[in-house]
A and B are shown apart, each in its own frame.
Chain A
Amino acid sequence: MGGIGSNIMPRTTIKRPLAPMKLIRISLILCLFLFLVIVFSLLLGTAKVSMNQLWCLFVGSPKANEMVKLIVFKIRLPRIVLAGITGFSLSLGGVVFQALLRNPLADPFILGVSSGGALGAVIGIILGLGFGLGIPLMSFAGALLAIYLVLVMGRRKIGMESSTILLAGVIINAFFTSIIMFFIATSANDRLHTMLFWLYGDLSQSLYSQSLVIGPVLFIGFIILFGLARHLNVITAGEETALHLGVNVERAKMICFLVVSLIIGLVVSFSGLIGFVGLIVPHLGRMAFGSDHRVLLPVSSLGGAVFLIAADTIARTVISPSELPVGVITAFIGAPFFVYLLKTRGSGWARS
């Protein structure tokens, strides 16, 4: 039984240089997927948009229908862009958490980091802060607090216990969610009442301006994390190995936690709580391309974008003209997947 151990590279490969062509090839294939899912998602919806009309729009043909233009550019595209960015971020967060905690079941949602961000955002709304800076900052602080609590609660005398971390995540999730519900139930603030939708993930009010806030942060964050990909490889392989190779693990970990919390906090403040994306996609990526983080980071992130755009397309079409929160779709797919992983892999990473 290979188990999770098969996902861990033999120590000799840790320093093996990566063939850049391989990475480029895989990324291009995924970008093609991304393009296809975007086109698909632009075509589907309550209003009928044909391939022909879409083509007319994008080549700027004068035959383009004004209403179709509105629906495609003002409603569907901003939503797809935000869904893509959100999926990218959550999946990226998932990969990094899984590496840092050496736990295949780690995910921003399961660890309570998302609900930490959500709590921060809710407090920001109660304090009357703006969506431009105040609320995302509060959300970042909440996400950071959650991950700090997970680490503190999960820390045993000897290193980190894998299942303890997951339990810590469950506890933090429950606690933060209860505080959020308390605020929603007791607040006279009208803005909070509509947040029940947001708690299950809501992309229905997407604007380009939101993507413009997250986009640059995500770009820089991704570059930093990608730069630390080899550190992540080493951390996954085990702390002794890291010490052996003379890698400054603690500093790399600290940077990763900060960057991921920032990204997740931002994403949550706009899209709400969307679970399991960071669990499903990185795992599929690992099965397909192995666990070298130099490949896994870009693959999972792009895959996350594809996955969430697809999930959101289902969410807004399946009971049309009403729509479901996208978190309902991701949890519906993700929760059984989680059970499957738990059954086949256990909650531990490698116990070599």
Chain B
Amino acid sequence: MVACVLTLSWSVLTPAATFRDALGREVSLKSSPKRIVSMAPSLTEILYYLGLGERVVGVTQFSYFPPEAGQKPKVGSYINLNVEKIISLDPDLAVGTVDGNRPGVVKLLDQAGIPVYLVNPRSVRDAIKTVASLGRLCGARKKAEDLSYGLYRRMDRVFQKTVSLRHPVVFLQINIRPIMTVNRNTIHNDVIRLAGGVNLSRDEPMTYPTISVEEIIQRRPEVIIISSMERGGRFEAVKRRWLKWPDIPAAKTGRIYLVESDLLDRPSPRIVKGLEIMGRLIHPEVKWEE
């Protein structure tokens, strides 16, 4: 009994746990967080994936997956956050990304005494690790480890099936006009690599370079993937434009595909789904179903 009271008061007086985030900042939590603000759509997806949706009290503008996340109060867009709104939701934890959330916001939240945990996923593996680390942070360690192990297995399966095959050149178009793509420092590049392809623009100096049709013709991609939320007509139009260039192998063989951009842009559990789709598109010759 005495011991019980002692441990109780101990847990009240001292932080239950200290975590280190992607920037090496120490994040101390007094107890398992009950009111979480998610400062990026990918983090919202992870929290819901972990079954922590009920603890989420605020999300960013484009957090529409899963659909019920869209009902939560909005705290601005992830690059243009409303700090005042976040504070007024009285959170005991805010999770954000190093890339999107501006350093000033983190400083303001720090000053307001709100623990901020930042993640910086740059690969599929990082995204899966984020699932595990957010789970640990929120006291759902076991579940998070099981789920992330499952995701890891799915990732590895795609990788193992394609790693020894010839890697075709893949052009990933992330914006229709102007034509934009990604270099090696992106999670998209990692998806292409794991799916057994070579990213056509991996050596570009800019992270999201704008690239000319001329350049693409010269580099002869064998597969063109258009990552977009557009469906139907708009995609068909873009596809027709590529088909006009029979010098491009992908156009000659008609290997031009649309992939829902949320599955490739967001370092969330769904990126594994994106990876599986990409694997099938880049290597249709593989026997995928068992």
Chain A contact residues, CB within 8 Å of chain B: 45-48, 67, 70-71, 74-76, 185-186, 188, 190-191, 194, 197, 204-205, 207, 316, 320-323
Is the CB–CB distance between A70 and B87 below 8 Å? yes
Contact of B82 among A46, A76, A191 (CB under 8 A): A46
B234 CB within 8 Å of chain A: no
Q: Check A186/B83 contact, CB under 8 A, given A75-B112, A321-B76.
A: no
Is the CB–CB distance between B108 and A74 below 8 Å? yes
Task: List the B side residues contacting A320 at CB < 8 Å.
Answer: 82, 85
Is the CB–CB distance between B85 and A207 below 8 Å? no
Q: Which 4 A-B pairs have the closest CB atoms?
A: A205-B104, A47-B88, A46-B85, A321-B82
Cα A71 to Cα B108 in complex, Å, equals 10
B248 CB within 8 Å of chain A: no
Task: List the A side residues contacting B107 at CB < 8 Å.
Answer: 205, 207
Cα A32 to Cα B184 in complex, Å, equals 57
Interface string of B273-285 (1 = CB under 8 A from A): 0000000000000
How many of B's residues come within 8 Å of A, CB to CB? 30
Least distance between A149 CB and chain B CB atoms (Å): 30
Is the CB–CB distance between B111 and A74 below 8 Å? yes
Interface string of B191-234 (1 = CB under 8 A from A): 00000000000000111000000000000000000000000000
Task: List the A side residues contacting B75 at CB < 8 Å.
Answer: 321
Cα A70 to Cα B83 in complex, Å, equals 11
Cα A75 to Cα B105 in complex, Å, equals 10
In the complex, the chain B residue whose C-beta lies closest to that of A324 is B80
Within 8 A of A (CB), among B71-110: 73-77, 79-80, 82-85, 87-88, 90, 98-99, 102-105, 107-108
Task: List the B side residues contacting A75 at CB < 8 Å.
Answer: 83-84, 87, 108, 112
Extra contacts besides A71-B84, A71-B88 (18): CB < 8 Å? A67-B87, A67-B90, A71-B87, A74-B111, A75-B84, A75-B87, A75-B112, A186-B206, A188-B205, A190-B99, A191-B103, A205-B107, A207-B104, A320-B85, A321-B75, A322-B61, A322-B80, A322-B82
Cα A188 to Cα B73 in complex, Å, equals 33
Contact of A194 among B61, B74, B85, B102 (CB under 8 A): B102
Q: Check A322/B76 contact, CB under 8 A, given A67-B88, A188-B206.
A: yes
Is the CB–CB distance between B108 and A205 below 8 Å? yes
Least distance between B91 CB and chain A CB atoms (Å): 11
Is the CB–CB distance between B105 and A76 below 8 Å? no
Is the CB–CB distance between B88 and A197 below 8 Å? no
Q: Of B79, B111, B113, which is in contact with the most chain A CB atoms at under 10 Å from its CB?
A: B111
Least distance between A131 CB and chain B CB atoms (Å): 10
In the complex, the chain A residue whose C-beta lies closest to that of B90 is A67
Cα A76 to Cα B112 in complex, Å, equals 12
Cα A320 to Cα B99 in complex, Å, equals 23
Cα A322 to Cα B111 in complex, Å, equals 21
Contact of B84 among A76, A190, A194, A207 (CB under 8 A): A76
Interface string of B173-198 (1 = CB under 8 A from A): 00000000000010000000000000
Least distance between B36 CB and chain A CB atoms (Å): 17
Interface string of B106-126 (1 = CB under 8 A from A): 011001110000000000000
Is the CB–CB distance between B85 and A47 below 8 Å? yes
Task: List the A side residues contacting B104 at CB < 8 Å.
Answer: 204-205, 207
Q: What are 20 sample pairs from A and B whose C-beta atoms fall under 8 A apart? A: A46-B84, A47-B87, A47-B88, A67-B87, A67-B90, A71-B88, A74-B108, A75-B84, A75-B87, A188-B207, A194-B102, A197-B80, A204-B80, A205-B102, A207-B104, A320-B85, A321-B76, A322-B76, A323-B76, A323-B80
Is the CB–CB distance between A321 and B74 below 8 Å? yes
